Structure 1
């Protein structure tokens, strides 16, 4: 988020919603929003590291990297109330507010991957 406030220049502000969700809870909300049923397979971290190492060696653009896997394994949540205190508004809950995911198509994903954010996603 770009801000013009002098008191925030050079500061890092962790932004989060009013709830702290696990990765599984986020996936549940997205799947429910899309109206899909998906099988979840929990893979041990050591096996994911092994698979990721192989993917990094054989694929030019692997779907996940070792660095990303490390980031996923770290508990990373924003403190509650930061958005309200800093910006003066209350963020909305994830559930019920991500209907826009239905409007994200394949080519939108390609554009995002190439560094261009489609306006209908950016301006949501």
Structure 2
């Protein structure tokens, strides 16, 4: 993970993650697609709840419904409006998804598995291209 800060004291984190999940049991005649997204959650002294969406994907019934990917890069910035990422002990990463039906109630589901990760205590200012 790399971190950077600018004059406005905003932390930016970069990371890669692996994803291994089987959605095949969710699909039936009425399930059209899933909107899957990875959320990072954490607390700060100013905000009790911080949630940042890092990545998302639409999984359609006709596509591969088993995802086994390594080294996924986030689609969105992991940015904090202060310096709250540095030395933070308790970031929770959770996979959520919306079930998009052909007919009926749209439901939001959260994975039962969550990963808690502490962040490093120093900044890295190297830029990668």
| TM-score exceeds 0.5 | no
TM-score (ref. length: structure 2)? 0.22
Greater fraction of residues in strand: 2
Q: Which has the higher contact order (CA 8 A, sep 6+)?
A: 1
TM-score (ref. length: structure 1)? 0.22
Greater fraction of residues in helix: 1
